Amino acid sequence: RLELVRLRQLRVLRVVGFFKPYRGIVALTVVAILAVAAIGLANPFLLKLIIDEAIPNRDLGQLYLYVGLMVALPIVTGLIGVGQTWLNTVVGQNVMRDLRNALYVHLQRMPLRFFTSTRTGEIQARLSSDVGGVQQVVTDTATSIVANLATALSTIVAMWLISWPLALISLGLLPVFLVLTYRVGNVRREVTT
């Protein structure tokens, strides 16, 4: 069991090594994800300002400003999201190219015995499915994890700032959902294996 964990860690480190040449673009992607999460926090606060200040004070100027911001911020978020998706795709495709090139070099170094003892279709299927799986992790899963973490943390901060008692009640239910998610994840992992 311990060896399996170490083997997985080594594989992850090898894949992460392919990202080193693209550190700047990866950092910019993470900044874009964090910016989208931060801008997403503005709407609840704007809604609070509309309800607590603009409407009770009958201040149309404030109301127009807050509503205008509530319309403009999702547009800005969408534009940042498009840029983030583009950056993510650029990194993903470059990493995939580098991975395929490394795989090709590795195959060139394999002894002839490997190719005579292994079926050609099996080699090609492994290459396409393994590289495809890594591509899915690179382009979708890693970005989703970072985006979901940023959104969750920023949402918790916003909830706490708006109403800490309601935030405590909401966070009190979190362990129940975590246990359910963990159990479903174990079942899915067993089925997949």
Q: Give the pLDDT band (50/70/90) at residue 69.
A: very high
Q: Give the pLDDT band (50/70/90) at residue 128.
A: confident
Orientation angle between helical segments 42-49 and 23-40, nearest 10 degrees? 20
Of the two residues 138 and 41, the one the predictor is more confident about is 41
123 pLDDT higher than 90? no
Phi, psi of 164 (to 5 degrees): -65, -35
- Give, as one character, the DSSP assignment of residue 17: H
pLDDT in tens, 134-168: 777 777 777 888 888 988 888 888 888 888 899 99
Distance CA 30, CA 38 (A): 12
**Average pLDDT for the chain:** 87
**pLDDT value, residue 44:** 87
Q: 158-180 burial string, b = 16+ CB within 10 Å, else e?
A: bbeeeeeeebeeeeeeeeeeeee
Distance CA 64, CA 153 (A): 30
pLDDT in tens, 44-58: 889 889 999 999 999
**pLDDT value, residue 70:** 93
- Percentage of residues in the chain having pLDDT higher than 90: 33
Task: Give the pLDDT mean for 56-81.
Answer: 93
**pLDDT value, residue 35:** 93
pLDDT in tens, 85-96: 899 888 888 888
Task: Give the pLDDT mean for 95-117.
Answer: 85
**pLDDT value, residue 75:** 95
